[in-house]
Structure 1
Amino acid sequence: MAATMTVGQVAEAAGLSRRAVRLYEERGLLPPARRTPAGYRLYDQNDIDTLTFIRRARALDLSLDDIGAILTLRRAGTAPCTAVRNLLDTRIAEIDRAITDLQALRATLTATRQATADPSATPEPAGGVCPLIDR
């Protein structure tokens, strides 16, 4: 397929910014674009497909390194779906840990706030910064 689209056109077609397209090319996620004699990058439908994949993978919060590994597998002729499932499982576990940590923090904050619900029970500090946190 002939490379006929400029960076702006391919960015719009993939739902990305021009800057993102250049970044993904710089990071090796997108093969280097052909150039016109004037130095303008030229792209084709395969590039749009790759960029669309990258955008969707980023929406799932996959890292650029993870996306690069997936693309490397695919370009080597290997179906990357097993690797993708493993990455998704890892990401789900990370999110579950973050949720647990946030719930524990919320419980601590709520308990601290409830223990100091009456402003008259907490005099202004004579020393320290704020008794609400200092204790």
Structure 2
Amino acid sequence: MIQQLTIGQATRAARVTRKAVRVYEAKGLLPPAGRSTAGYRLYDDTDVERLTFIRRARTLGLHLDDIREVLAIHAGGIPPCVTVRDKLDARVAEIDKAVADLLALRRTLVETRHRAEECVDELPVTVCSIIEGP
């Protein structure tokens, strides 16, 4: 017999929130839960495994669409490892770009700050070199 878990039990086992479970159900990442005679959502071990996978994938920064694709490939009986590697490579590229953008912003801020040395808080008010720009 398959063990049926309440949403509270399933969330504790998968280490996700109830809100996350509802979002994943609404987005089609998790099949709709069965219901008890009292109307409570019920989950099984397969649901907990799926929730755990989704949590891990989100922790790695995968987008919900990426996770949906990986789950669909897996459901089709095909090992999704190549797809997962491709998705992780894409995330690394996104992070590398974000780091480069942040480093460029940092350089700009430091250069602008150095130009601010020319600014003096005196009257009469003059235009600050930072506002005037290069």
**Does the Cα contact within 8 Å between 1:116 and 1:122 map onto a contact in 2?**
no
- Aligned-residue offset at 1:109: 0.5
**Cα distance between partner residues in 1 of 2:45 and 2:124:** 66
**Does the Cα contact within 8 Å between 1:125 and 1:131 map onto a contact in 2?**
no
Calculate the TM-score normalised by the size of structure 2.
0.89
**Cα distance between partner residues in 2 of 1:114 and 1:25:** 52
Q: Does 1:74 align with 2:74?
A: yes
Show CA shifts across 1:13-51 (max 9, x none): 111111111111111111111111222110111111110
- Aligned-residue offset at 1:132: 1.6
Structure 1 gaps, min length 5? none
Q: Does 1:47 align with 2:47?
A: yes
Say which SS state the counterpart of residue 116 (structure 1) adopts: helix
2:83 is aligned to 83
Show CA shifts across 1:91-127 (max 9, x none): 1111111111111111011000011125428877556
1:25 is aligned to 25
**Does the Cα contact within 8 Å between 1:34 and 1:43 map onto a contact in 2?**
yes
Say which SS state the counterpart of residue 21 (structure 1) adopts: helix
- The sequence identity of aligned pairs, in percent, is 50
Count of equivalent residues:
133
Calculate the TM-score normalised by the size of structure 1.
0.89
Structure 2 gaps, min length 5? none
Q: Kindly report the root-mean-square deviation, in angstroms, between the aligned alpha carbons of the 2 structures.
A: 2.0
Cα distance change on mapping 1:54 and 1:123 into 2, 3 Å: farther
Cα distance change on mapping 1:125 and 1:91 into 2, 3 Å: farther
Say which SS state the counterpart of residue 117 (structure 2) adopts: coil
**Does the Cα contact within 8 Å between 1:122 and 1:131 map onto a contact in 2?**
no
